[in-house]
């Protein structure tokens, strides 16, 4: 299932922090405070890192039982 569908109706906060040739993407679920971090090359672009961070957030929320 696509992360956008799983996160529909939920507020997700995103933060991007460049560090040299890498970029850290942080995704936080506002309702639970669950936070995940991914790091990838800047060349991958913000959209790609956002997709991966949201997918990881969905995985974590499912694992914790916050979503189905």
Model confidence over 7-53: pLDDT tens digits? 999 999 999 999 999 999 999 999 999 999 999 999 999 999 999 99
Instruction: Locate 4 and state its tokens.
Output: 């956008």
The predicted structure's pLDDT at residue 1: 57
What range defines the domain where residue 21 resides? Answer: 3-64
Model pLDDT, residue 68: 84
Q: What pLDDT score does 31 carry?
A: 96
Residue partners of 46: CB distance under 8 A and separation at least 6: 16, 23, 25
pLDDT of residue 2: 82
In total, how many domains does the chain have? 1
- pTM: predicted TM-score of the whole model, two decimal places: 0.92
Q: Where are the alpha helices (DSSP H) in the chain?
A: 3-6, 46-64
Give the pLDDT of residue 46: 96
Q: Are 26 and 53 in contact (CB under 8 A)?
A: yes
């Amino acid at each position: 299932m696509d992360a956008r569908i799983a996160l529909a109706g939920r507020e997700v906060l995103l933060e991007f922090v460049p560090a040299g040739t890498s970029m850290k993407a942080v995704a936080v679920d506002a309702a639970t405070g669950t936070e995940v971090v991914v790091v990838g090359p800047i060349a991958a672009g913000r959209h790609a890192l956002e997709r991966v961070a949201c997918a990881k957030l969905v995985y974590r929320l499912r694992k914790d039982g916050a979503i189905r």
